[in-house]
Chains A and B, each alone.
Chain A
Amino acid sequence: MTATFNDRIDIALTVNGEAVTARVPAGQHLTDFLRLELGLTGAHASCEHGVCGACTVQVDGQAVRGCLMLAAQAEGSTVWTIEGLTDTGVVADLQAEFVARNALQCGFCTPGMLVAAQDLLCTAMAQGGEVPDRAAIREHLSGNYCRCTGYEAIVDAISAVAEARHAGTAA
């Protein structure tokens, strides 16, 4: 009866620029796969129902909740985690600004914050180059909890990078 359903699924995907093949349990979400099988512990498994945003990673160019996508669904996908985004330097300006402005304390939410912020800035640049204002930044980060900073420094950091990137592309 269940012969058509599998409890282990073979997948092939690209993670942080490297080809990966694996056999994953049917119910394993992408965050656990990244953390437990690949040792990429930047994306955090926290609430596991899509509320906190600590698991946010990039799949096929879009920010997604790693805990609300099965590893099996990532077949053929291109996944970037905070480790890969750090190595390529695409979020280096955001990271530097987070440090400069104390936009993190314990750091648990930071990988998800950075992926969400990068998502906003890339989307904003793609849609006409408009610099997102503080309200737009807050709205975009509404799905990422931070229990340390009170958010103000995070918004400051992203706002500064948005301005700097805009100035950079305009120059």
Chain B
Amino acid sequence: MKASVGGYARATDLRHALDLLAAGDGSARILAGGQSLIAALNMRLSTGDLLIDINRIDALKGITCDGSRLRIGALTRHAEIAVDPLVARHAPLLRKATDVIAHAAIRNRGTIGGAVAHADPAAEFPACVLALDGIIHVEGPDGARDIPAADFFVDVFETTIAPDEILTAISLPVAEPDERQVIHEFGRRSGDYALAGVCLVRRAAGHRIVCISVATRPELATAAMARLDAGDPDGAVAALEEALDPPSDTQATAAYRRHLAGVMLRRAVADITGETA
């Protein structure tokens, strides 16, 4: 099928993009990497959209670190995150995630800001950003807002970004010296959306677990985290499976997804402790 869009505009800077967003009066959509949006348009899941292409806005690009926080511009491509030395050092979870996000040609275009704003519960970066306790930076006509990841994801494809705001960057606390960050997921084909996945972070304050593809949004698995903090991996797996109520679809039943999430948690724990799952 072919897309049916209402119009296209190439934003020259952030102010221009915000003005276009206001002019779009609810029909405007931000076009970043386009690897989800253009697919949706081609399938006519949405029609009549006014596309605001933000790919030429240099202020939304680049990765910086001020010593305590790593800041990643919204337009940073997955392929850039995969090879960036600051990311590898301060947020290795994101680098590892790029190994399992889609395929090389898609990683060349897809952006972290787009992935987080799209809030697909099957996507890796939203789960990673919550697992790392990140902050989502947005800008609107009234100025900038910083939204903790814990307050950002609402439902499938739904976030607390206001309709007149644009996601400008993600920031993350830099990894502690002994911190461990891993991602494990299971899919039917390399690069496909995972049937289930787990992000696991171990830092001084305790463990953080966020699952992929098993809920309507990324959420902290607090019961399982408490069991891991208590040194009880079996209890953590049981607590995770108990807490999950995943969807059934043509790819996997709820019971299978729940089981897989437990298996992925076991593998993640084994990964950070150096034992065999």
Contacts and interface: CB of A to CB of B under 8 A. Distances in A.
B53 interface: yes
B259 interface: no
A29 B104 contact: no
A12 interface: no
A81 interface: no
A62 B10 CA distance: 22
Contact of B105 (A26, A53, A70): A53
Nearest to B8: A26
Chain A contact surface mostly: mixed
A143 B103 contact: yes
Contact of A27 (B4, B79, B104): B4
B210 to A, nearest CB: 24
Nearest to B25: A1
A53 B190 CA distance: 14
Contacts, number: 119
B38 A70 contact: yes
A169 interface: no
Interface residues of A, number: 37
B2 A143 contact: no
A120 B5 contact: no
Contact of A67 (B5, B7, B42): B42
Nearest to A57: B105
Interface string B1-35: 11111111110000000011001110000010011
A56 B108 CA distance: 12
B233 interface: no
B8 A9 contact: yes
Interface in B162-176: none
A62 B5 contact: no
A56 B105 contact: yes
Contacts of A139: 190
B17 to A, nearest CB: 11
Contacts of A73: 31, 34, 53, 55
A120 B3 contact: no
A142 B4 contact: no
Contacts of B55: 73
Contacts of A64: 105, 108-109
Q: Counting chain A CB atoms within 10 Å of each CB, which of B8, B23, B39 scores highest?
A: B8
B103 A53 contact: yes
Contacts of A1: 23, 25
A169 B103 CA distance: 28
Q: Counting chain B CB atoms within 10 Å of each CB, which of A67, A69, A116, A120 scores highest?
A: A69
Interface of A: 1-2, 4-7, 9, 26-29, 32, 48-50, 53, 56, 62-65, 67-70, 72-73, 75, 116, 119-120, 138-140, 142-144
Given A26-B6, A63-B108, 9 more contacts: A2-B7, A5-B20, A7-B6, A50-B102, A64-B108, A65-B109, A70-B51, A73-B31, A142-B190
